[in-house]
Amino acid sequence: MDTLSLQLMNTDFYIALPKGMHSNWKDQAEKWLQYVAKEWSRFQPNNELARLNDLKIGETLRLKSVLYNCLQLANEYYLVSNGLFSPYLKLQLEQQGYNQSFPFEVAENQPTIEQVSSKTPIQFLDNQQVMKLGSQEIDLGGFAKGYAIEKLAEWLEKEVAPDYGIVDGGGDMKMWSTGEKTWTIGVANPSDITKEISQIKMKTGAIATSNRLYRSWTQGNLTKYHLLNGQTGEIAKTDVIQATVVTSSLCDAEVGAKLCFLLDDSEQQWWFNKNCQRNARFIVKEGQAGYWASSRGRVIVK
């Protein structure tokens, strides 16, 4: 296969297509991922996301179509999850100590957490414009990476390699196959990513994994991680260590994996049945073996 490996967004990207595709797909893929890494990161000054966050209440800004679309989609997930998943937690993440790019281990102590508003802080207008309505600021985080992978995979499948291919960004991946290729994907042990605890075989679909051990830090006497409850701005209170979601859409999988840390088993089952019916989830909890679940509930215990 013809492959491309990149390191961006603190993530190892790997793209594989059949040999013999036209030569410039690698340049196009790299430019797209570099654009997202630069313009949508909350750690980069003077980029498009920063200009949006710097708006005063009542001001408007016209965005590029891809950021407008990504943000609009993230807002739809915010609404259907009743705010549990939220792209509007930049201030809360910073106050929880996540105010620098990983890797870091110890954060400054900032005990006051910005109150989360129940109202959407931006309004989507015509012509790719948004208006600032509230003080909350935007961090697209892993959702931006998932969106970028999904859009890149859609372009590669349509324009470059319709037979099969895969785009993998640190374990969040989209793959496709007309039938010739079956992908075998390992689920990493959350405590030792060099080892696998399960496998997935599939031709076409998406996989996203969230792990609360990987992006964690110490603030004061507390160990914290990047998964926040969008309704409160607080660190998720959960016994889930890692969640892997398999479905057709990587954006669905990204959001679903985060919700596995915020919903108990029955709430999680209800949400997936209502919003993402064709899915499977591999959940690892403290002191338990990992298990698979689907629309039928817990189906395979490892």
Cβ atoms within 10 Å of 239's Cβ, excluding its own: 12
Query: According to the model, what pLDDT value does residue 196 have?
Result: 94
Query: According to the model, what pLDDT value does residue 111 have?
Result: 64
Query: According to the model, what pLDDT value does residue 120 have?
Result: 92
Evaluate if residue 83 carries a pLDDT over 60: yes
Q: Are 83 and 231 in contact (CB under 8 A)?
A: yes
Q: Which residue has the tokens 């031709």?
A: 203
206 band by pLDDT with thresholds 50, 70 and 90: very high
Lowest mean pLDDT among 201-210, 226-235, 274-283: 274-283
Query: According to the model, what pLDDT value does residue 34 have?
Result: 97
CATH number assigned to the domain comprising residue 269: 3.10.520.10
Sheet with 172-177, edge to edge strand ranges: 2-8, 11-17, 164-169, 172-177, 205-211, 240-247, 280-285, 291-294, 297-301
142-197 confidence digits (pLDDT tens): 999 999 999 999 999 999 999 999 999 999 999 999 988 999 999 999 988 889 99
302 band by pLDDT with thresholds 50, 70 and 90: very low
Residue 69's H or E segment, with its range, is helix 65-80
Sign of CA dihedral 243, 245, 250, 251: negative
Rounded CA gap, 132 and 134, in Å? 6
Q: What is the pLDDT averaged over residues 29-44?
A: 96
94-127 confidence digits (pLDDT tens): 999 898 888 778 878 776 777 888 889 999 999 9
Query: According to the model, what pLDDT value does residue 180 have?
Result: 83
299 band by pLDDT with thresholds 50, 70 and 90: low
Nearest residue to 228 via CA among 169, 142, 149, 133: 142
265-296 confidence digits (pLDDT tens): 999 999 999 998 789 999 999 998 899 998 66
DSSP 40: S
Evaluate if residue 297 carries a pLDDT over 70: no
Number of domains in the chain: 1
Nearest residue to 227 via CA among 188, 196, 255: 255
Residue 24 belongs to domain spanning: 1-302
Q: Two tokens at 178?
A: 């007309």
Evaluate if residue 253 carries a pLDDT over 60: yes
DSSP 215: S
Nearest residue to 34 via CA among 11, 1, 3: 11
